[in-house]
Amino acid sequence: VNPDNGRIYGALIDPDTDAVLVWSISFENQFKPKLLATLLPETILNGNDSQSDSEITIVGLKPLPESSQTCLITSDGRISVSPMEEIGQEEEFCTFQFDTIGTFDDGICFSSWSPDNELLVIVTGSSKLVLLTKTFDVLSEAPIDFAWFGDYQPVNLGWGTKSTQFHGSLGKSAAQMSEAETLPSATILPNSFSLNAYEISWRGDGAFFALTCPGRQDKNCRAQRVIKIFSIT
């Protein structure tokens, strides 16, 4: 959604051509979808009509009112922009072409803009975390170290064994419960959620963001997920 004019943007992939089509819905157009811009597959742009083996998906679509652009990010590693300032001034069926301004050869798994649209976080197909400015300059690039805990390591508080811990109103009888009775039930993830998925949540001021990512398997061969907190400073 563009906060300046309330327009809603959406993107889809043409199953016949694999082109990405970006549409706009606004009050001025009586909420009728209008085709604004297209992004052609690289095979067509390079003059190659052969079909690509990898399926392209839409990773992110973001209107950037300050620069009058729409940013489109696709799984084939492309970051593309289309102008916005002339939208609404052109003829009804006139559309723009997205210009690719950068490419990650290993693809893009996930992207997230900061709340103030000043920073862009990219997770590449090789599990690299890349931080870009709003003008798409690289600030930092590093692999996601799943084994490294971080600068602030956990501290052992020395709570002792379970039989000597404080158990509240239940008393020490709670310590006698069998292991079978205390086993936690398995967490059921939504059907649309993948164990290999990445998600990012920003703090309101954009100073920190949390990345949830797939972790290593535990001793019981169960998949784990890890939440890592990053500072932009």
What's residue 12's pLDDT?
Answer: 87
Q: What are the sequence ranges of the domains in the chain?
A: 1-43+53-103, 106-165+190-233
Per the document, the length of the chain is: 233
For the chain, 233 residues long, give each residue's pLDDT as a single digit of tens: 777 777 788 888 888 888 888 887 776 666 677 777 888 876 545 555 444 556 789 999 999 988 888 899 999 999 999 887 554 454 454 567 899 999 999 999 999 999 999 999 999 999 899 999 999 999 999 888 766 665 555 555 555 555 555 555 555 555 555 444 444 445 555 444 556 688 999 999 999 999 988 776 666 666 677 888 889 87
The Cα-based distances of 204 to 31, 46, 157 in angstroms read 31, 42, 31
Contact status, residue 81 vs residue 71, Cβ threshold 8 Å:
yes
Buried/exposed 159-193: b ≥16 CB within 10 Å, e otherwise:
eeeeeeeeeeeeeeeeeeeeeeeeeeeeeeeeeee
